Amino acid sequence: MANIIDGKKISQEIKDELKAEVEGIKSRGEKVPCLAVIQVGNDPASTVYVSNKKKACEYIGIGSKSFELKEETTQDELLNLIDDLNNDDEVTGILVQLPVPKHIDEDLIIRRIDPKKDVDGFHPMSVGALLIGEKGFLSCTPAGVIQLLKRSGVEIAGKDCVVIGRSNIVGKPMSVLLLRENGTVTICHSKTKDLKEVCKRADILVVAIGKPKMIDASYIKEGAVVIDVGIHRMENGKLCGDVDYESAEKQASFITPVPGGVGPMTIAMLMKNCVEATKLF
C-alpha cells in the first residue's frame, strides 16, 4: 500500500506560510499584493475555480478585484481591461480564467498580460524564463507538484522522471522543473512507442494525459512515486484522475489521490506567485 501524498494538507501549510508572510508585509508597511481575476461568461467549473481563488486571497490577506464579464464581451473589450489592469499600480497580479469563449483568441489574451503581473505563468516570457533558469513566474500546477514531492521527502535529483503529456500548461513546464531539480526526464505523448515500457522505468511518474483512469499498476514500477494531474467527473458523479488509483496504489510507494492531491496545490502556488509578484522584478 502506497503512502498517500495529502495535497489538501500541504496546500494548507503553504497558504498558512503565505498568510504569515503577508502579515509581515503589512506590518512593515510594504506594498500589499492584489490579484485581479477576470472571468468571461459563466462556465460553472470556471465559476467554482474563480470563487476558490478569491477565497484564497481573502484567507492569506491579499487584495482581490473581480471582473465578471458577459459571454458576448468582445476581444477588444477584454484587451482594453487587461491594458487598464496592466497600468493599475494597485494590481500586482492578473489572471484571466481559461477557457475564454471561442470568439476570443486565448494566446493573444495571455500575451497581453504584463509579464510582471503574469501570476499564472502562462506568458511566453514566463515560460522562456523558466526554460533558461531566469527569474519569473512558475506555472502553478507543475510548481505545486514539485512542492508535493519535496514536502513529502521525495528526492528528485538523479531519479528517472517520466511525464505523460506535453501541454504548455502542465507537461512542458513540469518537465523543465523536474530537470531543474536534476531529475533525468522523459516526456511521453500520443506518438510515444510502447508507453507502458517507458513508464515502467520511472522512479517518479507524473501523469497529465487527460484520460480517466488510463494508468494502472501495469504501467508502474514497484516503489515508484505516482503523481496524478488529471481530474474527471465520472457518470456516478464522483471525481477520478488519469490514474486508476485502486490498482496503482498497490505498486507505488507514494501516490496522490483525486480529489485532494494536485488540485489544491494549484491555488496555493497561485497565491505564492501573487505574494512574490511585488518582489520578483
By annotation, the residues acting in catalysis are 53, 97, 120
Residues 6+ positions from 115 with CB-CB distance below 8 Å: 123, 125, 126, 136, 137
Specify the residue, 95 or 248, whose C-beta has the smaller distance to ligand GUN: 95
Specify the residue, 98 or 217, whose C-beta has the smaller distance to ligand GUN: 98
Q: How far is the CB of 209 from ligand GUN (least distance, A)?
A: 16
Measuring CA to CA, how many Å separate 87 from each of 112, 141, 269? 12, 27, 24
Terminus-to-terminus CA distance in the chain, angstroms? Answer: 45
Chain residues in the site for ligand GUN (CB under 6 A): 95-98, 120, 140, 266
Q: How far is the CB of 146 from ligand GUN (least distance, A)?
A: 16
CA distance 61 to 158: 39
CB 254 within 8 A of CB 227: no
Specify the residue, 174 or 224, whose C-beta has the smaller distance to ligand GUN: 174
Measuring CA to CA, how many Å separate 267 from each of 53, 55, 56, 206? 6, 10, 7, 19
Q: How far is the CB of 151 from ligand GUN (least distance, A)?
A: 20
Specify the residue, 34 or 95, whose C-beta has the smaller distance to ligand GUN: 95
Q: How far is the CB of 15 from ligand GUN (least distance, A)?
A: 16
- CB-closest chain residue to ligand GUN: 98
Specify the residue, 20 or 45, whose C-beta has the smaller distance to ligand GUN: 45
Q: How far is the CB of 270 from ligand GUN (least distance, A)?
A: 7
CB 182 within 8 A of CB 175: no
